[in-house]
Amino acid sequence: MKQVFDESRRQLLKKVALGTVLIPIAVRTASAADLPLVSTDDPTAKALKYVEDVSKATAAKPGSKCANCALYQGAAGTAQAACLLFPGKAVKAGGWCSSWTPKPQK
C-alpha cells in the first residue's frame, strides 16, 4: 500500500515540476507574440530611423535586418519579436534601424 502511495506521490511531484518549468515558457512565448508592434512614429523609432521594411532604409548594410540583429529577441523564422531597444514592443523581422548590430556567429 505504501508503495502505491509513493508512486502516486512521485507522479504528482513530476507533474508539478513539469508545470513549474513549462508554464513560464508558455507565458513568455505568448506574451512575446502578443507584443504590439512599435510604431514608426515612436520617438525612439524615429531617432533610430526604424523602418518595418529594410528595403526602405537607405543606410542599411546589405543583408542587415532585425531578424539577424543581436538585439532581436525572436527565434529564427519569426515574423516579429521583441527588440531590446523597444521594451514592451515588437519589431518586424524584416525591419531595420540604425542600431543594427550583427548577431554573433555560432
Query: Which residues sit at the interface with ligand SF4, rule CB under 6 A?
Result: 50, 66, 69, 71-72, 83, 85, 91, 95-97, 99-100
Q: How far is the CB of 7 from ligand SF4 (least distance, A)?
A: 49
Of 33 and 85, nearer to ligand SF4 (C-beta) is: 85
Amino acid at position 46, single letter: K
Pair type for strands 90-92 and 80-82: antiparallel
CA distance 27 to 77: 20
Q: How far is the CB of 105 from ligand SF4 (least distance, A)?
A: 16
Q: How far is the CB of 41 from ligand SF4 (least distance, A)?
A: 15
CA distance 89 to 106: 27
